[in-house]
Amino acid sequence: MSIRRFARRVLCTLAACIALGATSAGAEPLRICADPDNLPFSKSEGPEKGLYVELARLVSQKLGESPEFVWWLTYNQRKALRNTILQDGCDAYFALPANADYRVRGLLKTKPFLDVSYAIVAPSVLPVSGLADLRGKRIGVLHGSPPHILLAAQQGYATSSFRANDEALAALERGEVEVAILWGPNAGYENARRHGGRWQVTPVTGEGLGGQVAVGVRRGQDELAARIDKALAELQPQIEELARKYGFPRGKPMPLVARRVAPDARSANLSAGLTVHSSMVARTNAPAASAPAEGVIPGRTLFNNVCSHCHGTDGASPVSERDLRKLQRRYKDNWKDTALTTIKNGRQDAGMPSWKATYSDAQIEEVIGFLTTLQK
């Protein structure tokens, strides 16, 4: 084993990676970073390996190389990138958002090879041809997701929010919701594997509802990117076959076009027909909280009941961009004004709804006061 190869193995060990797969005689390894527990995309153990793993093997075969997998959990994808491919721990990362807005210094991406999107999950007897067909239905959504924001900004749509696809599908099976709009690949996979294909899963298109994925390689590896591009283009029939195998919603996406409303209209807030899941607080224009008991931090209960789904308990999200303990470090002396504006008006581009018609100014100020206690 060469010194360089040995150094790579040591690096992966120190980074808590588990490299699998042996290099076949006469073939250079293509080291591929993937999540070890993220079906239908990738899996290190078990009979089903996931679309990205199977595709990586096909790409390696096209390149005349042997796949060598480096596993790293991707709850925080940018952290995973920093500790794997950007440290020369692997050669290719399957897969990354292909859109131009998703940039990582030191990486370049191949051309897109697969479309992914949210999807409408509904009984086959329920005809759905557009957003209007969902009016008056009880709709399951993932909390803070683009469909959640989309429906919250419209009148006449009653939503129940859930933390994960499987929770929403279980509610659909129990009849607690009549239809759901969920992340398509996961919903399609779970529908096929755990629910016997009970529901029709239809991909949707619209602002923030879908995109494409690409393979990431280190900057400067233009030749490798071009070779992978060529292999992906030749493998399009197999990619489509893998998508069907793992239940990814296929077919022409259904447009979900929302009626545009004024940013300050009441219907742009979560109070417009929103019914939240039992794990959240459901209050519309609720009065200011009474004086807290001794030792209770004002705003903490409200924050942990409503905001922790995205920002973590007490603001301690594992995703750096959502970690609210870093607001002062991020925005300096303006952090309180920034937080107040964001809570009241929302940031739809980031999945943050507007709360100004759901909670009083006094309640929002209490949340700001609680966030003050978190700053490091």
CATH 3.40.190.10 residue ranges of the chain are 3-114+212-245, 117-209
Confidence of residue 10 (pLDDT cuts 50, 70, 90): very low
pTM score, two decimals?
0.66
**What kind of fold does domain 117-209 have according to CATH?**
D-Maltodextrin-Binding Protein; domain 2 (3.40.190)
The candidate with the shortest Cα–Cα distance to 150, out of 162, 173, 134, is 134
Decide if domain 3-114+212-245 falls under CATH 3.40.190.10: yes
CA distances from 234 to 36, 52, 230, 345 (A): 27, 16, 6, 46
Q: What is the pLDDT of residues 293-345, one digit of tens each?
A: 444 578 888 887 778 767 877 888 767 778 899 999 999 999 999 999 999 98
CATH 1.10.760.10 residue ranges of the chain are 281-374
Does the pLDDT value for residue 265 go beyond 50? no
- Rounded to whole angstroms, how far apart are CA atoms 19 and 263? 50
Length of the chain in terms of residues written: 376
Q: What pLDDT was estimated at residue 123?
A: 93
Sequence-ordered list of residues with C-beta below 8 angstroms from that of 301, at least 6 positions apart, any chain? none
Q: What is the rounded average pLDDT of the residues 70-95?
A: 92
What secondary structure does DSSP assign to 311-331, as a single string?
A: H-GGG--SSGGG-GGGHHHHH
Reported CATH class of domain 281-374: mainly alpha
